[in-house]
Structure 1
Amino acid sequence: MSSELVSHGPVVDVSQAREIADDLVVIPDRGAGLVPNIGVIGGSDSVLVVDTGLGPGNAENVLAFATEYAAGRRLYLTTTHFHPEHAFGAQVFAGAATYLVNSAQAADLSGKGPGYLEMFRGLGEPVARRLEGVELVTPDVVYGDTHDLDLGSRVVRLSATGRAHSRGDQVVSVPDAGVLFTGDLVEAGQFAIFPWFPPHDTDVSGLRWIEVLERLIGTGPRLVVPGHGAVSGPDVLTDVRDYLELLRDETWARCRSAVAEETIAAEVEALLVQRYPDWSGREWVTKGVGCFCAEFTA
């Protein structure tokens, strides 16, 4: 855990916001733990905020930044998925912005949100402090598969991907700018985050995740804003897809040999850390092995 996370908790620093396309800025995670990349996408009439940061304090700073940036334009909020650092500040936007998510994410928020709130509070006092006063809210607008949001002279498409990193994953595409927000379907310079916590949460699907990435690669974005890590070119989609395929193949090869899962995890982690020595989040490799073991078909 980073020294900043220990001392201050996960802090969204809005002063670091930078424009990556016309009327489109990203508040970067700066490599800080439990801090997502946050988007602010403008049109002539409205502004869409993508993700809130962890807890009300971070969300208040994001809302203040977005309100100033909007300069009188209407505000919308969406979240890439229900996990706490992405969505557990939505209450702050009530009355100031219209909150939109897909139906699977809305179900995750209501059904699994309370359990994740308690789990994250257990990550230590700095994180728990950031989560003080969290209230899980009901979105204002819930859509099915896709929703085209007209911001005025710019249409942003919200697309539910189906089960992958979570059941309610959503990507946000800005076609005129060639920008794609992926949430935790993609991390740059980090091992893929597998929220594999049996028996409490086994919704993540490595196989479906690979299928989703194949589709996203086919959309040909110019820039990709990952859930965590640096804003990247489209190659980051291929990098993550290739990693997941390698994780699957190495796990399944050992499953076919009836190797114990504990041994599989140790061997595969060692191999993949050697293959990707500069990536962070090594603890997620073992979680990924568990997921792919559960999805193994002989």
Structure 2
Amino acid sequence: MDFAPLTHDPVVDVNRAEELDRDLVVIPDGGVGLVPNVGVIGGSHSVLVVETGLGPRNAERLLTFATEYARGRRLYLTTTHFHPEHAFGAQVFAGAATYLVNRAQAEDLAGRGPGYLEMFRGLGAPVARALDGVELVAPDVVYAEHHDLDLGGRVVRLRATGRAHSRGDQVVLVPDAGVLFTGDLVEAGQFSIFPWFPPHDVDVSGLGWIEVMHRLIATDPRVVVPGHGAVAGPGVLADVRDYLELLLDETWARRDSAMSEETIAAEVEALMVQRHPEWTGRDWISRGVGCFCAEHG
């Protein structure tokens, strides 16, 4: 990954926890790079934690918070996808929580996890420190595509979306609260993260991602918790869909004219930045162009 090394500590700050609904809180990322938005969702007899943070120390903070929040209720853990800041603290929950994900994500973790661990360790000393001591653990429960988790008076829907940001993306829907956790299928105020690193990782699918966004919009949530960025209303789903569709159209229009991928990326990036000058993560635009070029029919 040819990105500038991280110079800050990617710490999940449990003191920032905010209540979104009855017995449902989010620990926001605070605008800190490589910190995900974390969810803690309660029912009468169980509590579900969504995401672990980057590495064991963040997971320890979250487990302590979740244990205190649960007050004796059973703990579950799930992750929206296998990438390090979302899932590489799961070992800390072993024995304290039941860890469950979809089959494709479990396969991602087993197959891609070690490579991503090494790649992320190269992103700067703070990241390497956060990942010190990481052990990749297998989930306790693996489902195929759909799993309804009964927390007691509240059923949480875990849904594998199919290949998009990764092969094993999962969303978490809390129907009675109208809250949708999307992982990195959605970012607020940021260009979509395309982990397109040929030949090492080409699992992302821009075309699949667009299809997923249409399906998520149809769920009509009240609140959307993105992978990174501020908690938002349902309009953020349309923002991501529209960006991805424009990225596709502008990339393929230039691909049809036999322009080089480098030229396409430069032109499309300039256009996207003009459209969304306030968004961060501009480095991801060219990755998205590369992905869509590869998917050009």
Q: TM-score range by the shorter chain?
A: over 0.9
Deviation at 1:2, TM superposition (A): 9.8
Task: Say if 2:7 is the partner of 1:6.
Answer: yes
**One-letter code of the match for 1:55?**
G
Structure 1: gaps (5+ residues):
none
Provide Cα deviations, 1:209-237, integer angstroms capped at 9, x if missing partner.
00000000001000000000000000000
Question: For this pair of structures, how many residues does the alignment match?
Answer: 295
What residue is the counterpart of 1:18 in the other structure?
18
Structure 1 counterpart of 2:216: 216
1:182 and 2:193 matched: no
Amino acid at match of 2:232: S
* 1:87 aligns to 2:83 (yes or no): no
AA aligned opposite 2:248 = R
Query: How far off its partner does 1:6 sit?
Result: 1.1
| Partner Cα distance (1:207, 1:55) in 2 | 31
In structure 2, how many angstroms separate the alpha carbons of the residues matched to 1:186 and 1:63? Answer: 25
Show the counterpart of 1:172: 172
> Equivalent pairs: percent with the same residue?
79
Aligned to 2:48: 48
* C-alpha distance in 1 between matches for 2:21 and 2:186: 20
SS of structure 2 residue aligned to 1:126: helix
Distance in 2 between residues matched to 1:134 and 1:188, nearest whole Å: 28
Task: For 1:62, give the aligned amino acid.
Answer: L
Q: Which ranges of 4 or more aligned residues in structure 1 deviate by more than 6 Å?
A: none
Root-mean-square deviation over aligned CA pairs: 1.1
C-alpha distance in 2, partners of 1:203/1:138?
A: 20
Q: Shift in Å at residue 289 of structure 1?
A: 0.2
With structure 2 as the length reference, what TM-score do the two structures score? 0.98
Hey, what does 1:266 align to over in structure 2? 266
- Indicate the residue corresponding to 1:206 in structure 2: 206
1:61-100 superposed matches below 5 A: 61-100=61-100
Q: Encode CA deviations 1:202-260: one digit per residue, 9 max, x unaligned.
A: 00000000000000000100000000000000000000000000000000000000000
Q: CA deviation at 1:180?
A: 0.3
For residues 45-72 of structure 1, give each alpha carbon's deviation from its aligned partner in whole angstroms, at most 9, with x where no partner exists: 0000000000000000000000000011
| Contact persistence 1:2–1:32 (CA under 8 A) | no
1:110 corresponds to: 110
Alignment match, 2:238: 238
